[in-house]
Amino acid sequence: RTPYYARSLIGVRQLIDELGPLAEGLSVSQTAPNPLKDRSPVSVEYRALLRRLDPALQPDYIGLEGMIAAKVFTEALRRAGPQPTRERLRQQ
């Protein structure tokens, strides 16, 4: 069987659910902290946000990566000032 390697931009749980036994041996590199166990402030904030929005929501890497991206974008937008331009946003 050919090994398959994927970057963290893939939803691991969904991939396993869809591939079933074919997912055996799949390797996925994760660049974000573990959304289930990590004690980093962003992981803790993410889990708290999910609990507040809907206790049935389950943390996952894609959701945490999305939240990190949203936080970075929001901070860049804030720093770009009240009349942001593409150039100011890019510089931030």
pLDDT of residue 51: 96
Which residue, chain included where needed, has tokens 């510089």?
91
pLDDT of residue 73: 95
Residue scoring higher pLDDT (16 or 1): 16
pLDDT at 65 over 80: yes
Total residue count of the chain as it appears in this document? 92
Q: What is the pTM of this model?
A: 0.75
pLDDT of residue 29: 84
Q: Return the closest-CA partner of residue 65 out of 43, 49, 48.
A: 43
pLDDT of residue 69: 94
Per-residue pLDDT tens over the stretch 5-57: 887 777 778 888 998 998 888 888 888 898 998 899 999 999 999 999 999 99
Which residue, chain included where needed, has tokens 């860049």?
76
